[in-house]
């Protein structure tokens, strides 16, 4: 074959670059499509709900009058449910992921467990709701409480946390593990001093992704029977109760509740169009909650990763 002339080389490059550019344009188009959709969605909610962005909206309970209705019980409920969810799902998920990566022997039982964790992540959330209705609400007698809701959502996001924990652990090079074991550390010492701290940024990302998913879940919460109209807050620890007694530290977990998505769902299903304004405003608040959770996750991950280099 004769070597290419300079002209021919340039022609080849030009052809290659044309494809480069076509792909670039397509990529930018797809990206902006996604961005436009989300920006339009948020803008729509902001514009529709703008007249409700007052302090009262955050401090009022639900009401029959759209302009007096607020999201106090909903956002408090959402936060408390998330708290229970995180408290239950994080230790369980991290421990399960750690066990599977660091301790479990590779055999067919582990393989089956692994496959089923992926399957669990794909189970429709309503099914978790049905399961929780049977187990938490009736069997354990937790009732239609924050505890039931928190545990339900914990089940829902457990696979996400397990999978992200395992991925974070797998990203730690074997030489770090070997370096620890080589000085005579046990598996647990290796996990405690190295694996868990170094996997923490990845675990945290998984936790927040899970919580962001959980905070928007409606179906399982409706299934276990969250109220749609609620005009009181769960009892704060050590506050005075109506019957003259004092609330215990954990009384609030057994209280009935509502959450943001249910409040939104409730408002959109009302005939009075004034409630749509409320729904839009509440939708924006929910969006803001999710986005700020993500922001915290990104910040923490950045801060923690800065010191972890191999």
Partner 1 sequence: MQIQETPALKAEARNLNFFYGENKALKNINMPIYDKKVTALIGPSGCGKSTYLRSFNRMHDLYPGNRYEGEIRFFPDNTNLLSADVDPIEVRMRIGMVFQKPNPFPKSIFENVAYGLRVRGENNRRVLDDKVEHALKGAAIWDEVKDRLSELASNLSGGQQQRLCIARALATDPELLLFDEPTSALDPIATGAIEELVHELKKRVTILIVTHNMQQAARVSDYTAYMFLGEMIEFGKTDEIFIKPQDKRTEDYITGRMG
| Residues that bind partner 1 in the complex, under the rule CB under 8 A | 105-106, 173, 175-186, 189, 193-194, 198, 307-310
Q: Residue 186 or residue 269: which is nearer to partner 1 going by CB?
A: 186
Given a contact cutoff of 8 angstroms between Cβ atoms, the answer to whether 144 and 137 are in contact is: yes
Instruction: Compare residues 79 and 109 and give the one whose CB is closer to partner 1.
Output: 109
140 or 193, CB closer to partner 1? 193
Q: Name the minimum Å distance from CB 99 to partner 1.
A: 16
Burial of 154 (0-12, 13-18, 19+ CB in 10 A): buried
Q: Give the count of beta carbons closer than 10 Å to the beta carbon of residue 14.
A: 9
Radius of gyration over every alpha carbon of the chain, rounded to an integer in angstroms: 25
Minimal distance, residue 184 CB to partner 1, in Å: 4
Considering only CA atoms, which of 50, 48, 72, 69 is closest in space to residue 59?
72
Decide: 166 and 118 in contact? Cβ < 8 Å: no
Q: Which is nearer to partner 1, 195 or 264 (CB)?
A: 195
Asked whether 66 and 278 are in contact (CB, 8 A), the reply is yes
- Nearer to partner 1 by C-beta: 6 or 307? 307
Nearer to partner 1, 2 or 309 (CB): 309
How far apart are the C-alpha atoms of 38 and 24, rounded to whole Å?
21
Rounded to the nearest whole angstrom, what is the least distance from the CB of residue 106 to partner 1 in the complex?
6
Shortest Cβ 202–partner 1 spacing (Å): 14
Q: How far is CA 107 from CA 46, 72, 114, 118, 166, in A?
A: 53, 51, 11, 17, 17
Which of 225, 231, 209 shows the shortest CA–CA distance to 145?
225
CB of 197 to partner 1, least distance (A): 9
Name the minimum Å distance from CB 298 to partner 1: 20
């Amino acid at each position: 074959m004769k070597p290419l002339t300079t002209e021919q080389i340039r022609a080849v490059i030009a052809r290659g670059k044309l494809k480069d550019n076509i792909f670039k344009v397509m990529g930018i188009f797809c990206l902006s499509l996604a961005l436009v959709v989300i920006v339009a969605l948020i803008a729509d909610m902001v514009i529709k709900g703008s007249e409700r962005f007052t302090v009262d909206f955050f401090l009022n309970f639900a009401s029959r009058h759209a302009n007096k209705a607020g999201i106090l019980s909903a956002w408090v409920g959402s936060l408390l449910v998330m708290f229970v969810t995180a408290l239950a799902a994080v230790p369980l998920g991290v421990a399960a992921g750690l066990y599977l990566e660091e301790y479990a022997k590779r055999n067919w039982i582990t393989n089956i467990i692994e496959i089923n964790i992926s399957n669990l992540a794909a189970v429709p959330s309503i099914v978790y709701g049905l399961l929780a209705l049977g187990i938490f609400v009736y069997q354990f007698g937790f009732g239609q409480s924050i505890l039931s809701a928190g545990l339900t959502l914990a089940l829902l996001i457990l696979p996400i946390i397990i999978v992200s924990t395992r991925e974070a652990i797998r990203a730690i090079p074997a030489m770090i593990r070997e370096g620890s074991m080589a000085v005579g550390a046990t598996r647990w010492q290796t996990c405690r001093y190295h694996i868990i701290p170094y996997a923490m940024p990845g675990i945290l990302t998984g936790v927040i992704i899970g919580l962001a998913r959980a905070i928007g879940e409606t179906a399982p919460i409706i299934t276990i029977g969250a109220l749609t109209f609620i005009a009181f807050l769960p009892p704060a620890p050590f506050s005075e109760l109506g019957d003259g007694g004092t609330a215990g530290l954990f009384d609030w977990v057994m209280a009935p509740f509502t959450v943001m998505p249910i409040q939104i769902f409730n408002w959109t299903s009302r005939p009075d169009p004034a409630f749509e304004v409320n729904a839009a405003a509440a939708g924006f608040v929910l969006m803001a909650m999710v986005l700020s959770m993500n922001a915290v996750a990104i910040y923490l991950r950045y801060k923690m990763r800065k010191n972890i280099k191999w």
